[in-house]
Structure 1
């Protein structure tokens, strides 16, 4: 898990919060706030791991936002935290890679107006990332596995817009 900065049109700063699965590169949780507090962060952890779905370990950096209360919530959820060394973002490569993808593939191409707009953009990007975006580490598949469409699915290839038209996915359909 990690936090990242989202600049807004009015020169404000929002903080995004992401939780990524190491196993299948799936974005488990993504949210944004203008005022990150201990209570907000604890609630994000509860939302990221509902119904006893928490992993055994969770890698995090040493940000001040991970207070004693947040660490207690991790313990309550049955998660052992694995903090990285101070000022070493390379020790949390999966979260850093996802944050870089969010910046390059979404935030560099839109002007975020406010917190609600950022949340809407991030939710749409999360759907795209998990269902359509391919990953070399997953054998050029998406985290949510999908079947390869051969010519038997139809000769016509159609374009499906994703993330408000920033990205596209293509499927075969019968004519």
Structure 2
């Protein structure tokens, strides 16, 4: 199942309002795709979903259910599009964000661990840094629901004899990725 939602981010001068849409795979908690727009429409949302589905098909994955809130971009035309491509659209009840709790939790994580420390200058700046955060989230951030693994599993590294611990900064040093480097 794929869950989706949108959230708002303001630019540094508060003159631009960006709406971020994301698609989260429920089982793995992996962010499959995101996009940013200042005035999203149903047509734009279909295009973004089509791109996300294409990426999943290339990875050999399929999904049959799509969960969203009752935002106008997920309206009747969007539901008809999903039916046409063989996906069942499930909508949550009005004023019931807890029914889409995985999407809401990801928005909270994104705000607490990233947006509270970052003010975008423009859409390009937000897209670049959000892409970096999502890469970190998918590949390195641990999740209790996944037994302290990341959405994209990685092997546990054991230090080789005489290895040095190397810290690679992410998002300007907000986070770090740790690895081992052999010392000759």
Pick the TM interval, shorter chain: over 0.9
TM-score by length of 1: 0.93
Q: Following TM superposition, by how much is the alpha carbon of 1:151 offset from its aligned partner in structure 2, in angstroms?
A: 2.8
State the match for 1:16 in structure 2: 20
TM-score by length of 2: 0.89
| Corresponding residue to 2:9 among 2, 6, 9 | 6
Residue 46, structure 1, aligned to residue 54, structure 2: no
State the match for 2:139 in structure 1: 131
SS at match of 1:4: strand
Two-structure CA RMSD over aligned residues (Å): 1.5
Q: Following TM superposition, by how much is the alpha carbon of 1:169 offset from its aligned partner in structure 2, in angstroms?
A: 1.3
Between the aligned partners of 1:7 and 1:154, the Cα distance in structure 2 is: 47
CA 1:93 to 1:17, structure 2 compared with 1: closer, same or farther past 3 Å? same
Partners of 2:42 and 2:72 within 8 A in 1: no
State the match for 2:107 in structure 1: 99
In the alignment of these two chains, the number of paired residues is 175
State the match for 1:160 in structure 2: 168
With 67-76 and 94-103 compared, the bigger mean Cα shift is at 67-76
Q: Following TM superposition, by how much is the alpha carbon of 1:124 offset from its aligned partner in structure 2, in angstroms?
A: 1.1
Consecutive aligned runs of 4 or more in structure 1 exceeding 4 Å deviation: none
| Corresponding residue to 2:66 among 46, 58, 62 | 58
Between the aligned partners of 1:96 and 1:19, the Cα distance in structure 2 is: 12
Between the aligned partners of 2:179 and 2:162, the Cα distance in structure 1 is: 9
SS at match of 1:15: strand
